[in-house]
Amino acid sequence: MLQIVNLTQKFIIVVNASSDLLATNAKVCTDIGEFYIERYNATPLELAIIISTCEGIVNPQYSGFGGGFLATIFNGYCANYNIDPTRVVNARERSPSNFVPNAGEFSEIGVPGTLKGFSMLYDMSQRMRACGVEPTLEWKDLFTENIKLAETGWTETPHYKKNWHELGNAPHPFISIAQVVVNASSDLLATNAKVCTDIGEFYIERYNATPLELAIIISTCEGIVNPQYSGFGGGFLATIFNGYCANYNIDPTRVVNAREKAPSNFVPNAGEFSEIGVPGTLKGFSMLYDMSQRMRACGVEPTLEWKDLFTENIKLAETGWNETPHYKKNWHELGNAPHPFISIAQGKIKNEKLASTLWDIANEGPYSSLYRPNGDLHRTVMNELRSVNSQMSSNDILAYGVPARYADKNLCFNYSIIGSDLPGSGASFVLGCKIVEAAYGTLQTLTREERTLFMYHVLRYMYSLKPHLKSLNVQNVLQRIYGDASKIANYILNSFDKPWSTEPIKKFGSIVIHENVRHKREHGTTNIVIRRGKFAVTMTSTINYAWGSKLSSSLGFFYNNQLKDFDDVGSPNEPRPNSTPQSSTSAMILYSKKLNPVLQIGAAGGSKMIGAIFNTFFNYIVNNMTLVNANNAPRCMPFYRNKVESVYCEKEINRALKNKFKDIGKKIVYATERFGGVTASSTFRRKPEAAFDERRDGSVYINPNSNFEASVMQSRPRPVAAPIDRTPNSRPIISNRQGHSLDHDTNTNNPAANKDNKIRQQLIATENIIFLVYFVWPSLGFVKVFPPRLTSNTASALLRMVLLAVTAPMSSLKISRGALNCSNIFLTCNEMPFSQTTRS
């Protein structure tokens, strides 16, 4: 009989000579133990290590590698060999050699003993051969199921939940209190108009369109039915994540900046239409289309020709659509300005000029004539802009480019965040997320109203940071500001219910920003979120004010007035030629270590975007609302005018919250209408969710059983679960869970490693030759090397085994007994699962 007692947790594992008995503190640990018994006939000492590790994962409040254990062991079989059948193992924590009690906050930490104790138990399991008991598992095999458990998540135990509040603001490694079940096979759309969602659904079901193709299609639709906010006369920011790229060691992230740009001779306030920036939408669409073609490198095949992206939208503009509530509401702001719309029935309109323009765009191909010398669209636009004395020249349009680069990656709640970098304000969202993460434990002990006050103060930091983001000085210290998120969280928790200054915040943890900025109001936008499987796009489009400059093109759209968003001369966002004004745009994507997009969020609403997005995010993550309820809940945010803050709330907030602000001496300014237009999607929880904002109209499409897929070249090594962070002109580094490099080529000072590297390169070269012979040669009509029934997966695994076996005497790389040695990144370990290996 084996009995192990952990003095802190008091869990017991009992294995009887004629029975298999397990008793643990978590069902998942019992299940893992049962799995190892039935699959591998594991011995009690092996099970002790396995189940104790599991307990440390699901009950980290009681046990784990940072502690220790006592074990009592009895093996009756030893008596057959005249060996004492009993053992006691002491792996408890021990005081340091220079220990002085009460010498500081962490002076009572003892030397951890768990791992050394596991080493002893494993050694004993090997020595149990002397008692006739054969060990069945290699050391590394003891941890495979627990690695999966820690990566994919578990249902919190009652005691985990009960003890959570005791953690307070202490940093922790846990992803989410809610159960996380990520479904990588969902189709999710959220738009600002039902007709646009319907068109997206049509292209998914009819053509299996990719997210980048859908981004062009749906954004074009939004420009038709919500021309007061977006269209070909404006621009957009897009955040793109393609988890399938990681199968090919390609960075899965991109951010695309197709925002409007100031002309080369720009002078602010030089005339009625001097704030029209160079339109970027069509050039941005060209970039998205080009990227969709290049996604073949990630195994994602494009499904549509350029011209096919516009067919349904041409019909929509020709035949008409029902006006959206926001179209109707903003109609009066157009005044007497000329427009291209034709009323065809009560509440139904069409735009034949735009339909004709769309037909031309579709037929001229992805490289629009707007950006070509002597192009038809270019001539038309230049004639119109010259007629109103715009500062824009032909060269300004011809020279316009769309930057697309790898996204900056930051961690929050153990997810990677990517989003709108400059001229966007995604950095503000990152700071807010990190502050909430630092305070998460304590927030669960507060009332709903107290949590809202905390959120309001986080927004004060986010809004105070935003106007500084274009400053090079601030960009250089941004990571330090993120690193001080816990300091900021503690400060807010200690002061959120006390009076505060109405001036913008200048101190961010240990960083003080002294620059002079102005908090300027911005105006309308539209945001869409698109996801198919592991491929996601969050995209925010704008022409700035409602109807932009109110200058209507004969082509059927409105020109922007984006250059009104520049600030004062001398500020980071000062007016400059060839510059793009800063925006509150925050098109965000959070993705997991498994490279699944788990949350997409963005908003319309000008300067209120930051507040609207964060209200929804906070309600969803902290208040544990559904995504729809989180999005529709009443909102509060700080509102700045002339550097003076007002508490700005929707009038639907509850009385208890109103009283909280009143008790602090803060007068609430109630919004005349509900603000912000957030669209979001999530797979954080058991089912996929998507939400549009009832404040703006819209709709969603959710298909939990997507048929979207990407091909994977199985003969190439796959990255581990950690996200890839690659900078331009550098080779991707694959990191393990501890953050150490698994790229053996980096160890240039180790002769053995260098020898292995040369051998690895020889193996890869050999494999490439065989890959070409096996896969490329047959495609050219020659004879196959392998039997037809041999799959590429099997061939790839077989090649690796044969090549490694041939070179084994020359190399320290080896295939160990049992599962393949996954420390060797040359192997694709999941091609030969642990459960399928043969044991001697």
Residue 82: how many CB atoms within 10 A of its CB?
A: 6
Rounded to the nearest angstrom, the gap between the alpha carbon of residue 821 and the centroid of all alpha carbons in its chain is 31
- Report whether the peptide linkage leading into residue 423 is cis, meaning its omega lies within 30 degrees of zero: yes
Cα angle value 678/684/688 (rounded, 5°): 75
- Whole-model pTM? 0.68
Burial of 499 (0-12, 13-18, 19+ CB in 10 A): exposed
**Residue environment code for 745-762, b if the CB has 16+ CB neighbours within 10 A, otherwise e:** eeeeeeeebeebbebbee
Query: Is 766 annotated as catalytic?
Result: no
DSSP string across 732-776 = ---B-TTS-B--GGG-TT-HHHHHHHHHHHHHHHHHHHHHIIIII
Cα angle value 318/320/323 (rounded, 5°): 145
Please say whether the beta carbons of 484 and 509 come within 8 A: yes
The SS3 call for residue 115 is: helix
Rounded to whole angstroms, the Cα distance separating 638 from 648 reads 6
The SS3 call for residue 265 is: coil
Please say whether the beta carbons of 549 and 276 come within 8 A: yes
Sign of CA dihedral 481, 483, 487, 490: positive
Rounded to whole angstroms, the Cα distance separating 602 from 600 reads 7
Q: What is the mean pLDDT of each run of 10 residues along the chain (840 residues)?
A: 42 56 92 93 96 93 94 94 95 93 89 96 95 94 92 75 76 54 69 96 96 98 94 97 93 96 93 93 98 94 97 97 84 89 89 97 96 96 96 96 95 95 92 97 95 98 93 92 97 95 93 74 76 96 92 96 89 91 92 94 88 97 96 95 89 96 94 91 90 92 88 45 34 28 32 45 48 40 33 40 38 30 28 29
| 543 is annotated as contributing to ligand binding | yes
Residues linked to residue 343 through DSSP beta bridges, in sequence order: 349
What is the structure's pLDDT at 164? 75
Please say whether the beta carbons of 427 and 478 come within 8 A: yes
Q: Report the candidate in 63, 53, 13 with the shortest Cα–Cα distance to residue 149.
A: 53
Query: C-alpha dihedral over 614, 619, 621, 627, to 10 degrees?
Result: -100
What is the structure's pLDDT at 524? 60
Q: Spell out the long-range contacts of 393-399 with Cβ–Cβ below 8 A and sequence spacing 24 or more.
A: 393/263, 393/264, 393/265, 395/264, 396/261, 396/263, 396/264, 396/278, 397/278, 397/279, 397/370, 397/371, 398/371, 398/372, 398/373
Residue 448 corresponds to which amino acid?
R
DSSP string across 456-498 = HHHHHHHHHHGGGTT-HHHHHHHHHHHHTHHHHHHHHHHHTTS
What is the structure's pLDDT at 743? 30
What is the structure's pLDDT at 523? 57
| 259 is annotated as contributing to ligand binding | yes
| 584 is annotated as contributing to ligand binding | yes
CATH code for residues 187-407+520-703 = 3.60.20.40
Per-domain boundaries in the chain? 2-167, 187-407+520-703, 744-836
Query: C-alpha dihedral over 576, 468, 171, 239, to 10 degrees?
Result: -30
Task: Identify the active-site residue in 525, 540, 616, 828.
Answer: 525
